[in-house]
Structure 1
């Protein structure tokens, strides 16, 4: 068989129940010349069986099983099996928009100096309800400036990379358990340009645990190390990087932030859901007053603002997005 144009790299550890939707969003791409290498990283749920069923039905999907080793080694394992000219990242809980590959392949083919391209995001909550969009810079210099500040300027799960460039820099550095993408982009930027397509091409699922203090602290420590190494490679003194301090949030704070984000984007029912989740997580906190007042100002009845949300309403908001 001829080599595919795109090789999709996915690492899965206990990816249910979102995994089927993620795989099907790749199958529904308008650009069909791809292979998908899915590394099951020692899952204890039904992930491996789920992937196997898709692999039997679609010969472009390949399942690799291994003991639990973590995301970074799993992605490198998948990359070594890839045959495509471009490597596309995909996570097991996200949803790719149908034209993602079509647009990214066309962009990379038309911009030979670009070796990695990301895209904007539609942020969704754990239920798949929309929260808002994340705007990304399309300019290489702005992306580099943001990367050297430790910011995720090129969203990892949206990335499509030139395979030769990925191999040239040695792939992912397996000493990074988190922020492995930030380290990779900084190393890739030394040999070529980075870019983003401004249009949201992926539904990126947010989770409460990924933002709370324990996970956030580990993420920021790896980000500090990646940025420090990048400054050292170019022979410059490493700045203080005090902005990369532990900014972990409680579950209640995360829900309030999601509520504000959804409200700003016009998803009032989703905002109400997370305002209520925040109240349940920290019922005696006065911090809820502001978001509840804003919700009541959006022509919601008092009972709708202060009582649990209707699941049908949030589902309708997701479909509308």
Structure 2
């Protein structure tokens, strides 16, 4: 049986492999910088699975130029299916014990994987996330680093959707099958809630290890859409009754406001 370069590295060094899932859609402006931030990781035992979801720009060609590094793989979807479908497609081909997520316009600091794998192994943790800094669309850093709790459970996350997707790492040996709900928005938060609902705890690493790019016009930058999607998450996915959903939504709104004030401060 042929052994892939990534598998050979893992077997030779006995370090756990991290599978990084990156969906792309018309990401030509930022994708090289994003891939570069992965290639600069001090922890070398990773595979980057990029899933292109029907890009109409030069995204695929740019990724193909980066595939001289055998740890980088590309899956081209036959048609646009949305971020959840793209992420689940990447997850289904992942060979790593650990799953990490990085969107096509965000960045990691060089020690992100090394520090997070070390933390999870040292503390026997199945789910971790970290602090992250907001950067402007042009890459300029803002002074705002998103504060996070040291740990959060299901009820806590319902009231404060504080976990940044670009910061998450999951241990599949502890969690079993990982799959995002097939919804167009908030599929990452829906997955975190699904994991925490089963009794797991998410642990926050109190260190800035990622940069989140705030792109004008993106879904996440539209506060009204974000609020509407969160309400739908409570009612349609989590099946909360109206009173509980309203209580959680009030807390969500308060926390979102505090975060917004911090970013503008």
- Residue 238 in structure 1 maps to residue 244 in structure 2: yes
Residue 188 of structure 1 is matched in structure 2 by 195
Higher relative contact order at CA 8 Å, sep ≥6: structure 1 or structure 2? 2
| Structure 1 position 140, deviation (Å) | 2.9
Change (3 A) 1:217 1:71: same
- The number of residues matched between the two structures is 242
Residue 43 of structure 2 is matched in structure 1 by 31
- CA offsets per residue over residues 251-286 of structure 1, 9 Å max, x none? xxxxxx79x846x4xxxxxxxxxxxxxxxxxxxxxx
Residue 166 of structure 2 is matched in structure 1 by 157
Residue 136 of structure 1 is matched in structure 2 by 148
**Which secondary structure state, in structure 2, belongs to the residue aligned with residue 239 of structure 1?**
helix
Residue 102 of structure 1 is matched in structure 2 by 114
Asked whether the 8 Å contact 2:99–2:172 carries over to 1, the reply is yes
CA distance in structure 2 between the aligned counterparts of 1:238 and 1:83, rounded to whole angstroms: 39
Change (3 A) 1:68 1:211: closer
Change (3 A) 1:14 1:236: closer
Residue 206 of structure 1 is matched in structure 2 by 214
TM-score, scaled to structure 2: 0.82
- CA offsets per residue over residues 81-136 of structure 1, 9 Å max, x none? 00000001011111100000001101111222x32111111110001111121111
Residue 13 of structure 2 is matched in structure 1 by none
Asked whether the 8 Å contact 1:231–1:237 carries over to 2, the reply is no
- CA offsets per residue over residues 179-216 of structure 1, 9 Å max, x none? 11111111111242211111110111002213688x44
Residue 267 of structure 1 is matched in structure 2 by none
CA RMSD of aligned residues (A): 2.6
CA distance in structure 1 between the aligned counterparts of 2:174 and 2:223, rounded to whole angstroms: 30
Change (3 A) 1:138 1:236: farther
Asked whether the 8 Å contact 1:140–1:193 carries over to 2, the reply is yes
Bigger radius of gyration among the two: 1
Question: Quick one: which of 49, 53, 59 aligns to 2:70?
Answer: 59
- Residue 85 in structure 1 maps to residue 85 in structure 2: no
Could you tell me which runs of 5 or more consecutive residues in structure 2 were left unpaired when the two chains were aligned.
11-15
Residue 127 of structure 1 is matched in structure 2 by 138
**Which secondary structure state, in structure 1, belongs to the residue aligned with residue 185 of structure 2?**
coil
Could you tell me which runs of 5 or more consecutive residues in structure 1 were left unpaired when the two chains were aligned.
249-256, 265-321
CA distance in structure 2 between the aligned counterparts of 1:156 and 1:162, rounded to whole angstroms: 15
